[in-house]
Chain A
């Protein structure tokens, strides 16, 4: 290469990016350090900067104090069911919005997209009253039911299918006399799979990390991981190393997903964002 391309990264670019990366990653490292030390080591004038030997002891304590084992199972159930629900309902509705003509399409799509701008927090009081009325307080359906569908998911799948699904494929299906359901099953689903995978990952992460509604609807007797973390953080004598051990357990599953699928998640976010 004779002429340096205008977009070739120089040492300065690398320097800044590496510094930024360290800043982004440091809190994770610190979680590990604090989770593997004793509380007295953490509350000394010169803090320990490297991991210590107490990791498993602290994790054991955290598991006991906030019933994190139950919380992990609960979070897994909630996240899995919600992810399945969102991906399925979004693909169905996204397909209809992307490729089918019907009366009221514009209006319904406008309502769906419009509510994406309204924070769900604003509906939380009536939602709570509904949950109380259905006698679902402190039960997992209270956090599953409202999350089973997502306006963002519908919008995301619509955008994906508008591009990924050629009209001719559907036409060909119709020519062959396939019913709409048949077309969905044999033509749309295979094409939609990459989009469904991305939406699934994003939904799983968001559900696992959801905070506001679970602490309203659930109690520390039957918590999700985030609710358990909240109660760990609010103990009478906060033991920092145990709080950090709990934080580590709660974060690990998502980080694991991220380590395995990080590249796809990055791609998905960039893809979903462009047309935002």
Chain B
């Protein structure tokens, strides 16, 4: 061994550099990712077991599960949870169905299809803040354009802010407006990876357009649909900017009629200064997302089995 050491070491030096190089490439990402991504995520659980106030964020007093029990005794928490669900359904379901329909149309041979695609993605390029401020104005009770339009066709105006369902619909519409085009493009990408010949042979066999959509497009899109459902569910669970700016307060309406969990978290932490309790809300949201993701996965797996 000893006699071989010198020539070997000379050859090994560049080798070792090559072996360590991957970690060098990963280092910039993982160092920051660990500090500002992973650590806060895990540390949230620890914070949620303590009393931490915004003004004295350095001081942590052990509370055990008290933040959680306080949370579950708070009717506003349950209200926010319920609202998150209803607004989530009101925004996600129409959004994905519309996107599917639009993607199907965009998949036709069309003139100006780039134009349509770009126009559809424009809402995605706007910020939550800008979109919400515009829609809040359109939904104005007294001088809003939507009530004016309702009035001109002979319908009575709606209080889009104070009424529970109307306000939740209003918030959902902002979400739908911003994300429909984005999802349509994702579906379109999925559709374009379905072989054209399938449609052609189906057409020869006399399948109608609807039958083609039902039996070729939808099954081919399944993984894409599961992906968009999961992503939209996560987005809906943490909905924040739209309800915050819809009327401009963190309570989510006079009687919290459209306060979401994300807004509730912000209110606990930065209006009432209870960072510990806000961390508990964050963990409840996390568990909710895990449950919803598992439900989605289970449904997708079941669908696959029944198809076979």
Contact = CB atoms under 8 A, between A and B. Distances in A.
B193 A274 contact: yes
Contacts of A225: 127
A83 to B, nearest CB: 15
Contact of B237 (A30, A95, A119, A244): A119
Contacts of B240: 121, 211-212
B109 A247 contact: no
B28 A262 contact: no
B40 A127 contact: yes
A175 interface: no
B203 A255 contact: no
A101 B285 CA distance: 37
A145 B37 CA distance: 11
Interface stretch (B2-10, B78-86, B89-97, B116-124): B116-124
A205 B21 CA distance: 32
Nearest to A254: B125
B110 A13 contact: yes
A149 B29 contact: yes
Contacts of B227: 273, 276
A20 interface: yes
B234 A119 contact: yes
Contacts of A7: 107-109, 196, 199
B257 to A, nearest CB: 19
Interface string B101-140: 1100111111000101111111101111111111111101
B300 interface: no
A5 to B, nearest CB: 6
B12 interface: no
Interface stretch (B68-76, B142-150, B160-168): B142-150
Query: What is the size category of the interface that chain A forms with chain B?
Result: 35 or more
Interface string B192-232: 11001001101100000100100000000000100100110
B130 to A, nearest CB: 5
A43 B190 contact: no
Contacts of A59: none
A244 B181 CA distance: 23
B89 to A, nearest CB: 19
B122 A96 contact: no
B29 A93 contact: yes
A130 B40 contact: yes
Given A117-B293, A179-B14, A269 B125 contact: no
Contacts, number: 306
Contacts of B127: 208-209, 211, 225-226, 229, 250-251, 254
B59 to A, nearest CB: 11
Q: Which one of A96, A133, A154, A250 has the greatest number of beta carbons of chain B within 10 Å?
A: A96
B182 to A, nearest CB: 7
Given A30-B145, A92-B26, A9 B108 contact: yes
B145 A24 contact: no
B272 interface: no
Nearest to B41: A123
B30 A6 contact: no
Nearest to A210: B127
B19 interface: yes
A108 B26 contact: yes
Contacts of B145: 30, 47
Contacts of A106: none
Interface string A201-236: 000010011011000100000000110011011100
B132 to A, nearest CB: 8
Interface in A10-49: 10, 13-14, 16-17, 20-21, 23-25, 27-28, 30-31, 34, 42-47
Nearest to A42: B143
B161 to A, nearest CB: 13
13 contacts: A24-B119, A25-B119, A47-B145, A93-B30, A179-B18, A180-B25, A181-B21, A209-B127, A233-B129, A257-B125, A265-B125, A270-B185, A273-B185
Given A122-B238, A209-B127, 18 more contacts: A6-B203, A34-B137, A100-B25, A102-B22, A105-B22, A115-B37, A118-B286, A132-B58, A180-B18, A181-B24, A205-B125, A209-B125, A230-B245, A243-B133, A247-B130, A255-B122, A258-B125, A276-B186
Interface of B: 14, 17-19, 21-26, 28-30, 32-33, 35-41, 43-44, 47, 52, 57-58, 101-102, 105-110, 114, 116-123, 125-138, 140, 142-143, 145, 148, 177, 180-182, 185-186, 188-190, 192-193, 196, 199-200, 202-203, 209, 212, 224, 227, 230-231, 234, 237-238, 240-241, 244-245, 248-249, 262, 265-266, 269-270, 275, 278-279, 282-283, 285-286, 289, 293
Q: Which 5 A-B pairs have the closest CB atoms?
A: A123-B40, A9-B108, A180-B21, A209-B127, A270-B189
